[in-house]
Structure formats: C-alpha cells, structure tokens
Amino acid sequence: MGIFDKIKSAIWGEDEAAAVATGTPEDSYLGTTASTTGIAPDVATQADNPVMADVAAAGVQPVSKPAPIEMAQNPATRPTEVDVAEQLDRAMRDRGEKLDWRHSIVDLMKALGMDASLQERKELAKELNYQGDMGDSAKMNMYLHKTLLQRLSENGGKVPADLLD
C-alpha cells in the first residue's frame, strides 16, 4: 500500500475502505453478497443451510464480479463522499496538537498519525509524480499538499474549494 493509499485510508477509515473493496461481511457468504452473486439474501446462501454447508465444506465458492464492475453496477458499493476537512480537524483534535494541516503536508501527515519524515514525503512525491528538485523541500512540500488534496477530491473527498486553488 502506497503512502497516498495510507492517507486515504486514514481519512476514509479502515472499515469504510474494507467494506468498499470487499462488500459488507455481515451479510455475505464466503466473501460474496447479494449484489455480487445476483442471489437474493433469502435464497439458500447461508452457512447454516445444510446444502450450502456441504458446498462450503467442499471448498466451492460462489462466483463474484470483480470489484470495478461491482462498483459500477451497484451504487451502494461505491466509496461515499467524505468531508476531508472534518476528518482532518477531528484527527488533529484527537491528537491534542495544534497542527496546520490546511497549509502544511507535514502537519497533515502528523494529524493522521503518519511518519512525516523527509524520506516519507519523497516517497509520496514519487507517487504523486513530482518532477521538481526533491532537494528543495519547501517547493516539494507545497506541491505535495496541493496535489494530495486534489487527489483526495478526485477520489470522492469533499475538500474546501479554497484548498484546491
């Protein structure tokens, strides 16, 4: 998992990211849901059904659609829009530190409990296709902050307009 994905998971929450990627486990059988199998939940798909228990014991799993197809066909599996500012403000309050995540990539990463070292930021710069001099950390940090917020917005995050300019 790359640093951008770690940041996104920290903002969206681990449970939300897992539910979007795999379906909701509590209504699933062998990792599938009604939306992935096309079978209504009241049809014999539960593990306590003797026939399905035999199927499960034999190692046979219902076929499921790949995640991108599932997300396109079933809006319930699409990532929900997350208020990025609200989540980062909450993370900052939870940490008990005064951090300026709105202007600083270092503070944004610290608010999420992440390593904000130069090495980590250089790795993030590679992920976000930074073409400038990585020795000029001030310019790189400005690029990272702006580009990260833009990417979060592109991935379903609600980011205040003044932070995207």
Give the residue with greater pLDDT, 118 vs 24: 118
- Residue 68: give the domain boundaries: 16-77
Same domain as 132, residue 90? yes
Same domain membership, residue 136 and residue 73: no
Residue 8 token pair? 């996104």
Residue 129: inside a domain: yes
The pTM of this model reads 0.63
- Cα separation of 160 and 85, whole Å? 7
Cα 139 to Cα 24, 96, 131, 147, distances in angstroms: 42, 28, 11, 12
Residue 107's CB is within 10 A of a number of other CB atoms, namely: 19
> Is residue 20 within 8 Å of residue 77, measured between CB atoms?
yes
pLDDT, average across residues 135-139: 96
**161 pLDDT above the threshold of 80:** yes
For position 60, what pLDDT does the model report?
A: 59
